[in-house]
Structure 1
Amino acid sequence: MNAIDHNKIDKDLLVLEEKLSENDDINKQPPDDIISFNELRSCADLLRMYTDNQLKIDPDFQRNLVWTAVEKTRFIDSLTKQLPIPSMCISLDYKTDKRLVIDGLQRITTIVSFLNQDSWQLSKIDDVDERLSGKTPEQIKIDNPEIFSKIQNLTIPITVLRCDYSKKSHMEYLFTIFHRLNSGGSRLNNQEIRNCIYSGNFNNLLKEIADAPISKNIFNYSKPNLVSKKTKKNVKPYRYQYEELYLRIISFSVKLNDYDGKLSKFLNDFMGDNRDASLGETQKWKNNLLKTLEIAQKDNRLSRLSKSVNEAILFGIYMNLDNSELESEEILIAKITSLLEQPEFSLISLKEGLASKDKVIGRLSKAIQIFE
């Protein structure tokens, strides 16, 4: 077997794991009862839907793809000059009248900011209308009210997907649409999409664990903005990889025997089924994960291991939390070392089937056995 140097993550394995987090293994035709239609909405309409809580604008799920102030300013300038604006895509849950932005989040966010925040300041740049450059909406309304009114009344082409958020087939379709339509320049990965379309108690739990200091300390990460305020340089964006790690641990702890090799669909289904889980249930999962991390932090190698290996280590501990021996640092490190030496975790074995049914169940079953 080709053993792994656990002091250095294999680059090819890292690429495979990243691709796995971006793979859409849902291959179905659009549900017959989803209706797609086109409409024109004024910028004022978009603001009204937002203020009435009918339109969800949650930049959190795309926080690493946020436009710069200059890009926002140029977009507002494009509106005043009536330059062609790409069509946006919004899903509409006809049962609740709630809307979710699928494509066009930055454009809609910019429109809402301009119309709704008097103190929001546009960038001072040479290639935009001088009546906008460096001004706030409040100044524009006073000095050039016709420009503000023009933007309010300007209509934007929108494709609307009329669907039912309570139907699994509809949410699967929206997941695929996110994969295909997102045009922010950097494609969303699966967990970033789940964070948007499966919002609720369970999603909040995943974010709380990933935000916990113990998680950041173990895996040596932070959640930076797109641009560092100190250096003004781009920094590596956070891509919800640890939310997905914790999702995998919880979902496999509950439904490992139901796993069929389609990881994306398996995780989507679990999030969809548990998006509004009771606070009691989510608190139980949270407590168990935090206890798992408290035990795992005794071994400082985890930040140097691949996601698949860390998944197995944390899963093995999670499923054996009643084993008091794991409280011993010496015993824990010995068990992790034993796991790393198993053939299921050789480089060849991992590369052969990161998400295949037999490989995943084999790795996780071995982890349960080792940490017993």
Structure 2
Amino acid sequence: MAQKKAKKGELEAQLSAAQAEVRADGYEMSIGELISIYEKGEIQISPRYQRLFRWSLDQKSKFIESILIGIPIPPIFVFQSSDGKWELVDGLQRVSTLLEFRGVLRGKSGKRQVASKLSGTALMPALEGAAWEGTGALPEPLKLRLQRARIRVEILQTGSSPRSRFELFQRLNTGGSLLTRQEIRTCSVIMADESFQTWLEKLSSNKDFLDCTKLTPSAKERQRGVELVIKYLVFNLVEYKAEWDLHDYLDEGVVSLALDKKFDRVAEEKKFKDVFNLINKALGQKAFRRESSGRIVGSFSDAAFEALAIGVRANLAAIAKKPGTLVAKVADMWSDDAFKKNTGAGVRGTTRIVKIVPFARAHFK
């Protein structure tokens, strides 16, 4: 009985602590009011965050059509800063679609983007080609209907912990989203410390890193380079917790680094450059791909990247003295039974990481 009471007390204490982390409020407003707030600069959409706005024209058009026929709009979530302004946390695609259709959405330069016209409106074919103004402008009654449609705004208020914004964003976006997990992670880092995301992107544009990873333009567009930089940092600097899956590890790890006031970006950037300069000079594009008879025969291997990122960094000084040994070490790695067993098909990401970290540090020693 005493144990049950203690357990109940522990749960209640944890619930109170978790609730204290988030201070929330919310109310409904018209779309017209939301657009007015945006035009006054009272709701912010980070330029980096806005880059992820990529609904197709059909998706945007169906959303506008849905509002006109009366389908309820899911709520958006914002963070309220100390000056009372809002930062969009969730609802990017919906809000950006409304702003773009109205012709008020601003790009990175601050200039208004070209207003879109509707296309593919299956339930109201007469809306095809409709715009807010000019040729094919919506009739006034439909404009008023769109302006007056209501949307609920959930507000994460000032006083919430620094981690609350990215926690909220991740919980809202980890299921059924059009964003990749790395793009969600990018938004989380921006919310924790935008300058840290800038730094990650700087590392991902390092020439040696780009040369040896040789990512496709599509992979770069979807933040693949930043994801690899995060793997390098997190696997080397953040201790793994048993309850995390691989995504949790990267999510929690990178944000903990972003929020760590003692994290030395200058020193870590130098080490990053040294590691990938060494890898690129010794191996080039063969670094993270299987090789046979002097030719690359496999695609990019995350397991190989993780092993080298961990092993070379851990033994940087020794390898730098004899960089020629790295080629032989990598060749041995591909044929090593432990590496093959823990990186093959069907091996869970977390299992791979738990095994690959000690393996890499020892193998490249």
TM-score by length of structure 1 reads 0.69
Q: What letter is aligned with 2:255?
A: G
Cα distance between partner residues in 1 of 2:19 and 2:248:
20
- In the alignment, does 2:189 pair up with 1:198? yes
Look up the SS of the partner of 1:122 in the other structure: coil
Please name the residue that 1:67 is paired with. 55
Offset of residue 313 of structure 1: 0.6
Would the aligned equivalents of 2:165 and 2:188 in 1 still touch at CA under 8 Å?
Answer: no
**Post-superposition CA distance 1:223-280 (Å, at most 9, x none):** 43xxxxxxxxxxx89543432322122123333xx32232444433333333266799
In structure 2, which of residues 238, 241, 244 is the aligned counterpart of residue 260 of structure 1?
Answer: 241
Cα distance between partner residues in 2 of 1:118 and 1:169:
31
Please name the residue that 1:209 is paired with. 203
Structure possessing the higher relative contact order (Cα contacts under 8 Å, 6 or more residues apart):
1
Q: What letter is aligned with 1:317?
A: V
Offset of residue 84 of structure 1: 0.6
The two structures, once aligned, show a CA RMSD in angstroms of: 3.9
Please name the residue that 2:117 is paired with. 122
Look up the SS of the partner of 2:77 in the other structure: strand
Rg (Cα) greater in structure: 2
Q: What letter is aligned with 1:201?
A: S
Residues 129 and 308 from structure 1, CA distance in 2 versus in 1: closer, same or farther, beyond 3 angstroms? same
Look up the SS of the partner of 1:92 in the other structure: strand
1:1-372 aligned at under 5 Å gives the runs: 31-33=18-20, 34-35=22-23, 38-58=26-46, 66-79=54-67, 81-93=68-80, 95=82, 97=84, 99-115=86-102, 116=104, 117=112, 119-123=114-118, 127=122, 133-139=128-134, 144=139, 147-162=142-157, 164=159, 166-168=161-163, 171-180=166-175, 183-184=176-177, 186=178, 188-199=179-190, 200-212=194-206, 214-224=208-218, 239-255=222-238, 258-261=239-242, 262=244, 263-275=246-258, 281-297=264-280, 298-299=282-283, 300-301=285-286, 302-303=288-289, 304-323=299-318, 325=320, 328=323, 330-348=324-342, 354-356=349-351, 360=353, 362-372=355-365
Cα distance between partner residues in 2 of 1:163 and 1:119:
34
Q: Aligned pair count?
A: 324
Cα distance between partner residues in 2 of 1:69 and 1:326:
56
Would the aligned equivalents of 2:90 and 2:169 in 1 still touch at CA under 8 Å?
Answer: no
Residues 339 and 108 from structure 1, CA distance in 2 versus in 1: closer, same or farther, beyond 3 angstroms? same
Cα distance between partner residues in 2 of 1:291 and 1:221:
20
Residues 280 and 269 from structure 1, CA distance in 2 versus in 1: closer, same or farther, beyond 3 angstroms? closer
Offset of residue 41 of structure 1: 1.9
Structure 1: tracts of 5 or more residues without a match: 1-27, 225-235
Cα distance between partner residues in 2 of 1:259 and 1:266:
7
Offset of residue 108 of structure 1: 0.8
Q: What letter is aligned with 1:47?
A: I
Structure 2: tracts of 5 or more residues without a match: 1-13, 105-111, 290-298
Cα distance between partner residues in 2 of 1:126 and 1:94:
38
Please name the residue that 1:4 is paired with. none
Would the aligned equivalents of 2:23 and 2:156 in 1 still touch at CA under 8 Å?
Answer: yes
Cα distance between partner residues in 2 of 1:345 and 1:63:
38
TM-score by length of structure 2 reads 0.71
